[in-house]
Amino acid sequence: MSIHKFLAIITAVVLLILAGVVWFFPPNDDFRMENPFWNGTRETFTYPFSPLKSLADLPQGQGQGAVLVLIPYVDFTAGDLEAIKSFVTRGGTLVLADDYGYGNQVLGYLGLNARFFATPLLDPLINYKNQWVPSIFHLESSPLTNGIESLVFNHPTALMNVEPAATLARSSAFSFIDLNNDELKEDNEPFGPFPVISQHNLELGQIILIADPSLFINSMEEMPGNNNLVRNIATLSATQLFVDQSHLPQSSLQQTKNLMANVRGYLTTPLGTLGLTALALSLTLMPFWRERR
């Protein structure tokens, strides 16, 4: 066997094995609905939540009453922002869960005064294990907080410019905003309580702001109260519940998976299927054709 043939076979085998591994190994990206690991959301967003690959696919009917959970870790295009605004103003519910991402871009476009602090909220005393994982006990009565005694956040931020009437959950009086990220309370750093969940109306729809998307990850779902919050979000809509996947960061593994899914999607079209069959036949019959020549 010549060296060229040997290298070609080895390359093909390695590529096939790699493709198999990429295809079958679950993604480990933060917040992904396919991710079964601690930082994914597969255990949290089960049926009836469904993944949304593009904001262009949002239902735009008047008064459709669907719910969109949006974790904005990738910036938005003008088209995305318009799709979100149209969805909300026509009766949809937007659950915007952000800490250090692009949530303020959405809020600015929607014309709301509320903003995410986008700097860490620490609570040295009322917490699960350390100050980065604060417990939230101050909850106002509402359908969203129904049956919840407390929530546990994970590396959250806080909300600002929120009216008291719109606040559904607040951090403790001991919490503070760590402006210089030194994990210590400085004199210029404001003390709590801070709003961490709020509810706002916009024309026919409503917007729920949550200052930490991490309370949706699989490992946080076991915390008391967190699973009830997801259940309550699910009851906000009798129609459709979407979880946006298009504004989550993508690892190389996920990008490759997407590429393979796109290729597979193309191959499942009539043209793609025919092309694949033609290619397979050509490769199979090539030696025969060569010999004839």
Partner 1 sequence: MKRVAIVLAIVSMLTILAPALLTLAQPAYTPHENPAAIKSSPDLVALLSVYSDSFSLAALGKYSNAQSVIKELTRANIPDQLKGLANRFNSLAQEIFIRLNNADTALDSASALLAINQLESVKTKLDSAEINIREAESLLKDIGAAAKSLKSALGVLAVPISQPIESAYVRLERSLLRLQELIAELARLQQSLTERQKVKASRLVPTELTLSVSPISAFVGESVTATGALFGSVPLPGRKVTLLLDNEPVSVTTQPDGAFSAQITVPYKYTSQVTLRAVYLPSGDDTATYLAGESQPLKITTKFYLSQLDVVAPKKAHPGFPTAIGGELSSTGEEVERHIKILWDNSLLTEKRVKGKFSFEVTAPPDTQPGKHTLTLLALPQQRYSGATEDLTVEVTTLPIQADIQTPSLIVLPGKAQVKGKASWGTVPINDAEVRLSFRQSLTQATTTADGSFATFIDSTLDLSLIGPQEITISITPTEPWYEPLTTKKELFTINPLNLALTLFAFVSLGLMVYPKVRAGARIPREEVISPLPSPEPSLVSPPPHPRYEFVGIKGRILAAYLGTLEIVEKVCQARLQPHFTLREFLKATASKLPAALPPFTELTALTELALYAIRHLDEETAHRAEKLADTIKEELHREHT
Window 37-96: residues binding partner 1 (CB under 8 A): 38-39, 47, 73-74
Choosing from 181, 182, 188, 290, the residue that interacts with partner 1 (CB under 8 A) is 181
- Closer of 82 and 146 to partner 1 (Cβ): 146
Q: Name the residue nearer to partner 1 (CB basis): 111 or 147.
A: 147
Query: Between 201 and 239, whose beta carbon lies closer to partner 1?
Result: 239
Q: Kindly report the CA angle at 19 between 14 and 23, in degrees rounded to 5?
A: 150
CA dist 293 and 275 (Å) reads 25
* Per CB under 8 A, 140 contacts partner 1: no
- Per-residue x/- marks for partner 1, 225-264, CB under 8 A? ----------x--xx---------xxxx------------
Q: Of 157, 141, 137, give the one whose Cα is nearest residue 224.
A: 137
What number of helices (H) and strands (E) belong to the chain? 6, 14
Q: Which bin fits 271, alpha (ψ -120 to 50), beta or left (φ > 0)?
A: alpha
Q: Is the dihedral of CA 43, 45, 50, 52 positive or negative?
A: negative
CB of 172 to partner 1, least distance (A): 6
Question: What's the rounded Cα separation, in Å, for the pair 95 and 47?
Answer: 17
* Interface with partner 1: number of residues (CB under 8 A): 60
- Segment interacting with partner 1, rule: CB under 8 A, options 12-20, 78-86, 126-134, 198-206: 126-134
| 126 token code pair | 């009322």
Distances in Å between the Cα of 109 and the Cα atoms of 45, 112, 197 are 27, 8, 20
Q: How far is the CB of 174 from partner 1 (least distance, A)?
A: 6
SS3 content of the chain, % helix, strand, coil (to 5): 35, 20, 45
Closest approach of partner 1 to the CB of residue 129, in Å: 4
- Per CB under 8 A, does 121 bind partner 1? no
155 lies in the binding site for partner 1 (CB under 8 A): yes
21 near partner 1 (CB under 8 A): no
Q: Rule CB under 8 A: say whether 220 interacts with partner 1.
A: yes
Residue pair 233/144 in contact (Cβ under 8 Å)? The answer is yes
Query: Can you say how many angstroms the Cα of residue 207 is from the centroid of all Cα atoms in its chain?
Result: 16
Collapsing DSSP states into helix, strand and coil, what is residue 151? strand
Choosing from 2, 62, 188, 284, the residue that interacts with partner 1 (CB under 8 A) is: 284
Q: Which of 64, 185, 206, 227 binds partner 1 (CB under 8 A)?
A: 185
Binds partner 1 by CB under 8 A, chosen from 36, 81, 124, 140: 124
| Tokens of residue 68, six digits | 């969109």
* Closest listed residue to residue 212, CA positions, set 69, 100, 105: 100
CB distance 241 to 67 below 8 Å = yes
Among 51, 89, 100, 206, binds partner 1 (CB under 8 A): 100
Q: Which residues bind partner 1 (CB under 8 A)?
A: 30, 38-39, 47, 73-74, 99-101, 119-120, 124-133, 135, 137, 143, 146, 152, 154-155, 172-174, 181, 185, 213-214, 217, 219-220, 223, 235, 238-239, 249-252, 267-270, 273-274, 276-277, 280-281, 284-285, 287-288
